[in-house]
């Protein structure tokens, strides 16, 4: 049996925060919780242009980083959790594998663990209001159902079973939303790690009879665990409190667990009329969820959720938020101080600047489904990319080369056009015919369609005569008023010859409006768009 709940470290929230540790593109602050498999840190994602984001980082213990079994479990958790998209499930954002480190990056949820809230209620002997308990549990069931219904890229069910639904794995945020987390021992059809025979995983108090008997089980085992959580919320006590493990297991397997009303009566708790009416309506729902036979339970978490909502109203998120801030005030204040100390340590001890520039990727790197692509970062370590990324696009290098290439392209085009039409300008006598041709050409107005450039005949361009010693510019030509017309597609320009006739009629036979392909606006030469 393995318990995955992380316990609060306590010391890091009372002592002066240590400087953050850089791992890839993340700055890890001191741990805020720890368990048998990993420690949990608040961390800061540092991006370009001053972008940063507070996240939670689940860091595999260093002595387990070389253990293939634990590494496979960690990878399975990342893959499974990344397939679940729901407001009541804490999402996985990234996976970091660098220099013997294995870190699972999740969204940071500012709130209080349900286990802590329930402990406060037991200590104060003040039960959690029924409407609050109902709202929290139905939120968890909604997220759990989303996990059960998750599918792979081919739209096939993943058959996810959480196997660790418990108060320790529910975070109630200050915005009033309960969120399910920790898929560390979750089971799915695509899991690469498989539990060895004779080993079962989870918390004893939330295990169904078939799990304890090491028999095959399905999603209804999670429904059973949700029923136990509800039992504890309503009774305001632990389900196995004061019982030995052997006694408790026998009660679960034999179906002799007391109902919520029996347990409350045994505790001697006095109920007012309103709460008794609420618990009476919810008692059969809890009993159904905790049935010994899996076939007698709710078939899905969603079915149980709707049964609860039909029995009694749930509190709003605003009401839950107010209750969490009031009940968990001391916890939240400690966490706020920790976060503030972490930020102060970051401001006073800036991480060392990178020694070299970021290495560029020459070509796109296509990753297989389920792989975690990484790339070297500016700090000489490995920088992770989002979990579901399929392609790592090559980084664009900065520098003048794109502009140089563009300039050369325009220069080549100018030379080609010049060689094509230079023979018409060699003789000063030709300019009179050119001006006559300009007067005969209608003016071009802006239009939605633009003629495509005619292909350049490189063979004719290479055979063009050598330019004469000088070419006189034509006198300024006044541009006539613009008249809107629809330009026609430019025809292929006439082939260049050794001599050009001075007659305007000879040039118009080739194509008057593109011979030459420009006009003069004062002293400025303007090329015609439909002749380019």
* Confidence at residue 175, expressed as pLDDT on a 0 to 100 scale: 97
Would you say the pTM of this structure is higher than 0.75?
no
Q: Is the pLDDT of residue 233 over 80?
A: yes
pLDDT tens for 428-473 read 444 444 444 444 444 444 333 434 444 444 444 444 444 444 444 4
pLDDT tens for 42-54 read 999 988 888 989 9
* Confidence at residue 441, expressed as pLDDT on a 0 to 100 scale: 43
Residue 43: CB atoms within 10 A of its CB come to 26
Q: Is the pLDDT of residue 359 over 50?
A: no
Kindly report the CATH number that applies to the domain delimited by 7-348: 1.10.510.10
Structure tokens at 63: 């002595």
Distance between CA 408 and CA 403 in Å, rounded? 9
pLDDT tens for 113-125 read 999 999 999 999 8
Catalytic position from the list 76, 164, 182, 222:
164
Structure tokens at 383: 């920088």
Distance of CA 338 to the CA centre of its chain: 27
What separation in angstroms does the CA of 365 have from each of 128, 174, 239, 477? 52, 41, 52, 58
Give the CA diameter of the chain: 120
Among 14-28, 159-173, 283-297, 341-355, name the one with the lowest average pLDDT: 341-355
164 is catalytic: yes
User: Quick one: residue 255, left, alpha or beta (phi over 0 = left, psi -120 to 50 = alpha)?
Assistant: left
Domain locations in the chain as residue ranges: 7-348, 401-467+474-531
* Confidence at residue 77, expressed as pLDDT on a 0 to 100 scale: 85
* Confidence at residue 405, expressed as pLDDT on a 0 to 100 scale: 52
Residue bearing the bigger pLDDT, 376 or 60: 60
For the segment 100-105, the average pLDDT, to the nearest whole number, is: 89
Distance between CA 7 and CA 35 in Å, rounded? 6
């Amino acid at each position: 049996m393995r318990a995955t709940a992380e316990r609060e470290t306590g010391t890091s929230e009372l002592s002066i925060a240590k400087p953050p540790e850089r791992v890839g593109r993340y700055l890890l602050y001191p741990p805020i919780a720890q368990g048998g498999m990993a420690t949990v840190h608040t961390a800061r994602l540092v991006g370009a242009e001053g972008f940063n984001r507070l996240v939670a980082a689940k860091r595999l213990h260093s002595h387990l980083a070389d253990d293939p079994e634990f590494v496979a479990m960690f990878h399975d958790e990342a893959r499974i959790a990344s397939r679940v998209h729901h407001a009541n499930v804490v999402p996985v954002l990234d996976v970091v594998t660098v220099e013997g480190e294995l870190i699972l990056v999740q969204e940071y949820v500012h709130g209080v663990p349900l286990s802590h809230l329930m402990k406060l209620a037991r200590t104060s002997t003040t039960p959690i209001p029924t409407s609050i308990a109902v709202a929290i549990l139905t939120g968890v069931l909604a997220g759990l159902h989303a996990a059960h219904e998750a599918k792979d890229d081919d739209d096939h069910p993943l058959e996810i079973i959480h196997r660790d639904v418990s108060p320790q794995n529910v975070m109630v945020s200050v915005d009033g939303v309960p969120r399910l987390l920790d898929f560390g021992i979750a089971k799915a059809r695509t899991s690469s790690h498989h539990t060895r025979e004779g080993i079962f995983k989870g918390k004893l108090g939330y295990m169904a009879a078939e799990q304890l008997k090491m028999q095959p089980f399905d999603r209804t085992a999670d429904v059973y665990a949700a029923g136990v959580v509800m039992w504890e919320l309503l009774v305001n006590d632990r389900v196995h409190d004061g019982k030995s493990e052997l006694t408790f297991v026998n009660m679960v397997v034999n179906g002799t667990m007391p109902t919520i009303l029996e347990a409350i009566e045994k505790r001697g708790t006095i109920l007012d009329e309103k709460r008794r009416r609420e618990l009476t309506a919810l008692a059969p729902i809890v009993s159904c969820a905790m049935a010994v036979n899996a076939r007698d339970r709710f078939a899905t978490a969603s079915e149980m959720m709707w049964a609860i909502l039909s029995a009694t109203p749930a509190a709003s998120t605003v009401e839950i938020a107010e209750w969490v801030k009031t009940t968990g005030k001391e916890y939240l204040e400690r966490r706020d101080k920790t976060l503030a100390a972490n930020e102060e340590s970051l401001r006073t001890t800036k991480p060392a600047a990178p020694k070299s520039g970021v290495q560029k990727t020459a070509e796109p790197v296509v990753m297989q489904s389920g792989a975690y692509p990484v790339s070297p970062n500016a700090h000489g370590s490995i920088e992770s990319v989002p979990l579901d990324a399929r392609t790592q696009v090559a980084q664009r290098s900065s520098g003048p080369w794109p502009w140089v290439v563009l300039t050369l392209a325009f220069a080549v085009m100018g030379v080609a056009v010049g060689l094509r039409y230079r023979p018409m300008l060699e003789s000063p006598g030709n300019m009179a015919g050119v001006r006559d041709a300009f007067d005969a050409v209608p003016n071009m107005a802006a239009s939605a369609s633009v003629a495509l450039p005619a292909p350049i005949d490189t063979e004719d361009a290479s055979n063009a005569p050598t330019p004469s010693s000088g070419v006189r510019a034509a006198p300024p030509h006044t541009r006539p008023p613009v008249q809107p017309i629809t330009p026609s597609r430019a025809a292929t320009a006439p082939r260049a010859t050794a001599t050009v006739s001075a007659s305007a009629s000879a040039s118009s036979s080739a194509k008057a409006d593109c011979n030459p392909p420009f006009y003069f606006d004062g002293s400025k030469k303007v090329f015609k768009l439909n002749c380019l």
